[in-house]
Amino acid sequence: MEQRKLGTQGLTVSAMGLGCMGMSFAYGAADENEAIATIHRALHLGVNFLDTAEVYGPYTNEQLVGRALRGRREGVVVATKFGFRIGNGTRGVDGTPANVKRVADESLARLGIGVIDLYYQHRRDPAVPIEETVGAMKGLVEAGKVRYLGLSEVAPETLRRANAVHPISALQSEYSLWERRVEKAILPTARELGIAFVPYSPLGRGFLTGAVKVDELAQDDARRNHPRFSKENARANQRIVDAVRAVAAESKLTPAQIALAWVLSRGRDVVPIPGTKRVRYLEENVGALDVRLTPDQLEQLEGLAAQTSGERYAPEMMTLIE
């Protein structure tokens, strides 16, 4: 398995990670046995970078990952996130030092591990200076509870200010063939600072695979609340899927493999974390690591993001993205 560096502090992971959110949260019914089998298969294939978060569930996804890792912790890089205020549902964000420390301790207990390899702030709290939040995160590194630090969905200036307090190893933000806005300023800033980029939803929450039918999504599937999955926008976005499918057909690959190969081609400092809760999709995704897109294929894919119809999230969630 190809290895890629996350930042310049010494963290190295497999070139593709595994997003675990959908195993217990957001995307319809879960099957814990299949989810754990998927994690185990990922580790067997050399995928050693697992991504979870406190808010996934909440709490249940970290617990599931912890169960999957029993007796298998060695060599696995576990990333988790804090930052939402959780009570009766998710209510805003909390970047206070007290929350930084509390969540770390609780996440360690849920995961059943002694140290968090990569600890992200999930969304920035505008009421708390980033220096205070990262200062508390730095304290966790010094205490031996966390190894490396990350941020998610922050603007270049926030990234600079945070990195001045303690080196940031990874920035996690959405990035795919239908979402490329980070390329303008965020990705260049990360590269200037030596911070790796971890794209989430590199398959457009499954839409780019061509397998998602919006009218068949479960009633509790979070994508029902995402503008790009409305019937009108999905109909318009189908042309993107059709273009990806055409490129895939040329090489006898799947649309998912083409979409992931494109993200992987963006640079060795880019480590996508496609999520799945099924072994067969995991194996399909890992197959993208062997795909090398031709200049002609890259040209065919280049303009797709400009055709995307609809925003990433509903308005209230978009306010949390810098």
Query: Which two tokens mark 8?
Result: 């310049």
- 36-63: b (≥16 Cβ within 10 Å) or e: bbbbebbbebebbbbbbbbbbbebbbbb
Q: For residue 308, which phi and psi values (nearest 5 degrees)? A: -65, 135
Which pLDDT does position 70 carry in this prediction? 98
Q: Catalytic residue at 119?
A: no
Which pLDDT does position 57 carry in this prediction? 94
DSSP summary character for residue 288: G
Range name among 7-21, 86-100, 118-132, 244-258 with the lowest pLDDT average:
86-100
Residue 48 has pLDDT above 80, yes or no: yes
CA–CA separation, 319 vs 322, rounded Å? 8
CA–CA separation, 146 vs 173, rounded Å? 21
Q: Contact at 8 Å (CB) between 149 and 169?
A: yes
CA distances from 115 to 72, 168, 238 (A): 14, 17, 43
CA–CA separation, 253 vs 234, rounded Å? 23
Residue 88 has pLDDT above 80, yes or no: no
CA–CA separation, 3 vs 247, rounded Å? 27
pLDDT tens-digit map of 184-210? 999 999 999 999 999 999 999 999 999
Residue 59 has pLDDT above 80, yes or no: yes
Q: Contact at 8 Å (CB) between 82 and 104?
A: yes
- The CATH number of the domain covering residues in 3-204+266-291: 3.20.20.100
Residue 89 has pLDDT above 80, yes or no: no
Which residue is listed with tokens 């600890």?
A: 119
pTM over 0.95: yes
- Of the candidates 56, 120, 148, 200, the residue annotated as catalytic is 56
DSSP string, 15-67: SS-EE-GGGTSSSS---HHHHHHHHHHHHHHT--EEE--TTTTTTHHHHHHHH
Residue 98 has pLDDT above 70, yes or no: yes
Strand blocks (E) in 116-251: 116-121, 146-152, 170-174, 196-200
Q: Contact at 8 Å (CB) between 271 and 198?
A: yes
- The rounded mean pLDDT for the chain is 97
Percent of the chain scored above 90 by pLDDT?
97
Which pLDDT does position 91 carry in this prediction? 76
pLDDT tier, 90 (very low <50, low <70, confident <90, very high otherwise) = low
Count of C-beta atoms within a 10 Å radius of residue 29: 8
pLDDT tens-digit map of 154-165? 999 999 999 999
pLDDT tens-digit map of 212-243? 999 999 999 999 999 999 999 999 999 999 99
What is the arithmetic mean of pLDDT over 286-315? 97
CA–CA separation, 50 vs 43, rounded Å? 9
What is the arithmetic mean of pLDDT over 100-114? 98
Domain definitions of the chain by residue range: 3-204+266-291
